[in-house]
Each structure stands twice: as structure tokens, then as C-alpha cells.
Chains A and B, each alone.
Chain A
Amino acid sequence: MTRCDASEEPKDEKDKTWFRRCWREYDESFGEAEASVKLCEQLSGATNIDVIDLLRQSGRLATGAIKASAESRELLQRASALARDAVKMASIQASQIAAHRASQIRGIYGGQDELILRELMPKYSDEYVPAVDYLLDLGRRIQENGTCCIADDEYRLIRDKLHSAVDFVREYEIKAQEIDNRLRAERHELRNNTWGALLWAFAGLLLGFALDWLFSCITSM
């Protein structure tokens, strides 16, 4: 979609096609930002104040665009730009929350236990792990250089990775019980095996003593 602030300008103040396209673009950005706000709320339970305030400010401009016909073009363009900024801000914040939550989950199942995650989640190795690693690396980059280091076209990639990280968190929440059961069963089996091995070793030792005694009896006869 061509951006309404870019190459093409409206023919006149009543160029309905141009305005409609601009409103559609605004609608798309606004919807995306709202979805990210909801995602943040679901993941962390907290409202992303900066983003919702940015959306409010964009709403003020959009209301002005309806009211004032002479300046509506400029106001609508500014509203759209603010909504786009809100999308970027919301995407980054949501991605960081999701990455944090995902890395917490991975932290629980370190070492051998991670094999269960790989086994029960088909997308774990190919999709979830790279996405979480990418988002964690992004967080480090932002901490070092701020958000200015992120190129405009990278946001699409961030959103894709964000969706993967969120899928991972959701899939984990669905399968948590199953994973825990498997883990418990494996630990139980391991414990049983250890006790079994000890028992066999003890039995072997007893057999050794018995044989030794038997041989000594035979040789003394």
C-alpha cells in the first residue's frame, strides 16, 4: 500500500479516493498497534501506557481531520505517522515481554530436560528458539544503541519473530501439564533405574561372597 504521506498527493481537498486510502492506512496501523497492546496485556498483565497515549494523540489529530477540511490532509498524515510510531513502539515492547517470558520457560528446562520440549513441540528447534534468540539479541541492541538502530523494514521481521515467540509461550501454556508429567515420569524412571542398579550391584557382591565361601569350602575338603 502506498503511504499517504509519500509520493502521491490528493488532487484537491475533496479527493475522496486519496482520503479513503489514507484512512485505510491509518486504520491498519491503528489496528496493528491495538493488537500489540492487547498482546502485551495478555503476556504481562500490564497496559502499555506510552503506546495507548500515542494512539490517543493520533486520535486527536484524526478528529481534527474530520472537523477541519482545509487542514485535514496534513492532520490525517500526522495521525497516520503517529499510529505507525505506536506500532513500532508496541511491537518492540511486546517482543521484549514475549522474549523475556520465553527465555524464562527455556531456563526452567535446561540441559537434558530441553529434549522434552523439542519432542513435544515440533516447531521448537526450527522456529521458536531462533525467534527468541533474535528477540533477545534485539533487546541487547536496543539497550546499547536505542531504537534508532532498527531499520524501518526490520519491524516486519520483528513482528514475525514476535508471533513465533508468542506461539511458543501459548503452546507451552497449553502443554505445560503434559511436559511436567513427562518430566516427572522420566525422573521417576531414572530414580528407579539407579536403585535397581544399586540393588543388582549388592546382589552381585553377595553372590561373590557366596561363591568365595563355596570355593573355600571345596578347597578345604
Chain B
Amino acid sequence: MSGEQNRPVFITRKPDDQFTSSYPQVDASVDEYIQSRGEYPIPAINELRYAVRHLIDAVLAPDKNKQKESWERALRHVDRARYDIPEYECSSLRLRVEAMLGTDAYKRYHHIVVKCIPNYYRHMIAFYETYEELKTFPALDKNSSVYEQRCNRMISTAQEFLDDIIKAEPLICAAMEREDRRKRNFKIWKISIFIGMAFLKLIASHLIF
């Protein structure tokens, strides 16, 4: 009797119930993402679209087996959409960081960029470490809290890096301008020294002979 009582009870919910409870959650996450980031997480929206296709198939299914199969497929798409949102955010942030650092000016004045962005190398190492972790994550385990945590870590790392880059932008621009001016001044100096030396040589030869 006591053994019977201690046995864990698994409550299996019907797939349609699961779908109707999880679809609005993911859908709300998509809305939140659109509002906060101002862009559409296309892969997640597509997954939700596929989920709706299977939802319609389930409602119009001719028999119970087909119906169950369609519900399960729909649920799989909703689950996929759930982790597609942070995954898309990660790739979008990564592209933004790479686009900012990949501009011609930033490449040319890399030594200035490194000096102006606080903890540049620490940011860079953390950024690529987390990116590598995500890239090598097994595809079948993506629907897990571990993957979500890693995505969130990547998001916060990339966001911090991006914030520091944006914050350092005025400083970088000023330093670039100073560097340009310094280079220009140095050119003028070189020409003046050249002319001065020639002039000196002329005077010296005039004085000697």
C-alpha cells in the first residue's frame, strides 16, 4: 500500500492542451522580441507558421491517429520556435558586433579601437568562447534549459561588448581624428626639415667657399 502511494504520478497532458498553452507563450515572446529589438525573428515566426499548418491539419484530420500525429508535429514546431528566438537574437547580435568591428575605419585604426574599448580582449575572448559553445551544441539537445542558458550568456556577452563599443565610439572617432592630424602634421614637418636642410647646405657651402 505504502509502495503504491510513493509511486510518482505522471500527469500526461493531451497534445492539444499542451499546444494551446505553449503556443500563446511563444507567440508572446515573439511579440516581445519585435517590440524590444525592432526586428522580426524570422526563423521563429516560420516555425509558428508551420505549427499553425499542423494545427489546421489536426482539426480537419479524418481519424484520431492522424489527429494525434498532427498535434505532436505542431508541438514540435512550437518547441523549435521557442529556442529559435534566443538563437536568432544571438546571431543578430553577433552580426552587429562583427559588422561594427569589421568597418574599414575600425580595421585601419585597430590599435586605437583596442585602446578605446575597455577590456577589448576580454570581451573578444568571452564573445568567441560563448559563440563556439553555441555552435558546437548538439542540435537534438537544443530544446533544453542548458541551451537557453548558453544563449542568454551569449546574448549578455554580446550586448555588453556592443554597449562598450557604442559607448567608446565618440572616443574612437576623436582618437582617429587626432591620429590623422598627427600624421598630416608629421608630413608637413618632414617637408619643412627637407627644405631646411637644403637651405642650410646652401648657406654652409656659401660660407665655406
- A residues contacting B by CB (< 8 A) are 20, 23-24, 26-27, 30, 34, 47, 49, 52-53, 55-56, 58-60, 62-64, 66-67
Main secondary structure of the interface of A (DSSP, over half): helix
Max count, chain B CB within 10 A of own CB: residue among A34, A59, A62: A59
Nearest CB in chain A: distance from B42 CB, A: 6
Q: List 20 A-B contacts (CB under 8 A).
A: A20-B60, A24-B60, A30-B52, A30-B53, A34-B49, A47-B46, A49-B40, A49-B42, A52-B42, A52-B45, A56-B49, A56-B52, A59-B27, A59-B52, A59-B55, A60-B27, A62-B56, A63-B20, A63-B52, A66-B20
Max count, chain A CB within 10 A of own CB: residue among B16, B23, B30, B51: B23
Q: Which residues of A contact B24 (CB under 8 A)?
A: 60, 63-64
Tell me the bound Cα distance from A27 to B20 in angstroms: 18
Determine the residue in chain B with the shortest Cβ distance to A27: B56
User: Beyond A47-B46, A53-B40, is A63–B53 a contact (Cβ under 8 Å)?
Assistant: no
Are A60 and B45 neighbours in the complex by a CB distance under 8 Å? no
Determine the residue in chain B with the shortest Cβ distance to A28: B56
Nearest CB in chain A: distance from B77 CB, A: 10
Interface residues of B in 42-92 (CB under 8 A from A): 42, 45-46, 48-49, 51-53, 55-56, 59-60
Q: Which residues of A contact B59 (CB under 8 A)?
A: 23, 66
Contact with A along B3-41 (1 / 0, CB 8 A): 000000000000010011001100100100000000010
Number of A-B residue pairs at CB separation under 8 A: 59
User: Beyond A49-B40, A63-B20, is A56–B56 a contact (Cβ under 8 Å)?
Assistant: no
> Apart from A26-B56, A49-B45, A59-B48, what 8 extra A-B contacts exist at CB < 8 Å?
A24-B60, A30-B56, A55-B49, A56-B48, A56-B52, A59-B49, A63-B24, A66-B55
Q: Which residues of A contact B60 (CB under 8 A)?
A: 20, 23-24, 27
Q: Which residues of A contact B52 (CB under 8 A)?
A: 30, 55-56, 58-59, 62-63
Tell me the bound Cα distance from A81 to B24 in angstroms: 20
Tell me the bound Cα distance from A39 to B51 in angstroms: 20
